[in-house]
Amino acid sequence: MILCSNPKAQYLSHRREIDKAIRRVLLHGRYILGKEVDAFEHEFARFLGTKFAVGVASGTDALEISMAALGIGKGDEVITASHTATATAAAILKVGAVPVLIDIEPEYMTLDPREFESAVTRRTRAVIPVHLYGQPADLAPIRRIADRRGIAVIEDCAQAHGALYRGRPVGTFGDLSAFSFYPTKNLGAFGDAGAVVTDDRTLAAKCLLLREYGWKQKHRSVSRGWNSRLDELQAAVLRVKLKYLKRDNRKRQALADEYRRRFTLSELVLSAVEGVEGLTSSGVIAPKVRPCSTHVYHLYVVRTKARNSLQAALKRKGIQSLIHYPLPIHLQPYFKTRVRSVGKLPETQRAAREVLSLPMYPQLTKSQLHTITDSINEFFA
């Protein structure tokens, strides 16, 4: 079986260092908010070029804490894309705000800045651009619109550790930015973990209070807060993996280049294919990289009108593929009565019918990738 993602392979590639880091924590005896967390926060902030990083329990918590630090709550609106992971909208609801869901750019599948401006109302407090699949959203116009309208920007960087937009890392454009370190991410822990990053000292201080009961000192709450602490074991693992993040991202990019080369050689992208679930254009459409940006391929997502049949054919060959995401947020049973969508979101709904995530992780071999592309070629032959 060729897996779509493989966090175990990443562990094995750094096993000696990770095991040593874990033993260090176990022998030290402090397991919550200690030296490892403090060191990781400084190292991650330095990696990004931000002033502050606050370790929290998950990427969803990072989004919630970011909004809470800005005072966003009941009656407020937060704009984001409907084509995203459930966590983005769930975090908005958790602070009591209303998710306002808009359409995506068809080429890059990230939040459309033109749709953003048309969705702003007097209740809008923030926008959350999601750097989906490792592709940076178009931050310059989003930032301009937000600044002109007095709206905060919270970047959702859960899938884009190390991606660059106009030469700067994503996570450095927002008032606050949220990262997830779920095990399958480009920078992944061995469980749930996350971080909020910011250049604003006051917001960073609020995030520190919010992650642990509003404590400035133990057992003395000075504000609201909850339990969202990054533990020492996860921080120690992340410190090891952070050293290899740029290298591993380059491996992902090399694999993406090989996918594209193989698709072009087999004429899948350019050939006309007919008769498969109404498919009348290209076999698969490879991901397009935004100009002046770097894509870090958390997921390698192709598009095809033959998505369901292709996925079934790959499964028969022992190749795992996944769909990110099969049902837009605004159409999900729980969310559809709790969100406001702006228009019918045709690009979002089209993406949900066509996207397919192919195997992508640094330890994927060229031989395995060739097996995948050969199987796709055979399917469309």
CATH of the domain at 237: 3.40.640.10
The verdict on residue 2 lying in a domain is no
Clarify whether residues 176 and 190 are in a common domain: yes
**Predicted confidence (pLDDT) per residue in 13-71, tens digit:** 999 999 999 999 999 999 999 999 999 999 999 999 999 999 999 999 999 999 999 99
Range of the domain at 361: 245-380
Clarify whether residues 223 and 253 are in a common domain: no
Q: What angle do CA 153, 159, 163 make, to 5 degrees?
A: 75
pTM of this structure: 0.95
Clarify whether residues 286 and 370 are in a common domain: yes
Structure tokens at 88: 């983005």
- Spans of the chain below 70 pLDDT: 266-282
Report pLDDT for 280.
29
Q: How many domains does the chain have?
A: 2
Clarify whether residues 132 and 229 are in a common domain: yes
The CATH number that applies at residue 340 is: 3.90.1150.10
Cα distances (angstroms) measured from residue 77 to each of 71, 98, 126, 296: 12, 5, 7, 30
**Predicted confidence (pLDDT) per residue in 174-216, tens digit:** 999 999 999 999 999 999 999 999 999 999 999 999 999 999 8
- Rounded CA-CA distance 11/363 in Å is 10
Which of 212, 227, 242 terminates a domain? The answer is: 242
The verdict on residue 1 lying in a domain is no
- Give the strand pairing for 215-217 and 220-221: antiparallel
Report pLDDT for 266.
62
Report pLDDT for 267.
53
Clarify whether residues 67 and 119 are in a common domain: yes
Clarify whether residues 29 and 87 are in a common domain: yes
Report pLDDT for 381.
84
Clarify whether residues 178 and 125 are in a common domain: yes
Report pLDDT for 306.
95
Which of 242, 275, 306 terminates a domain? The answer is: 242
Residue type, 38: D
Report pLDDT for 324.
98
Q: At 45, phi and psi to the nearest 5?
A: -60, -40
Clarify whether residues 250 and 365 are in a common domain: yes
Clarify whether residues 264 and 251 are in a common domain: yes
Report pLDDT for 264.
77
Clarify whether residues 261 and 362 are in a common domain: yes
Clarify whether residues 262 and 376 are in a common domain: yes
The verdict on residue 217 lying in a domain is yes
Clarify whether residues 279 and 355 are in a common domain: yes
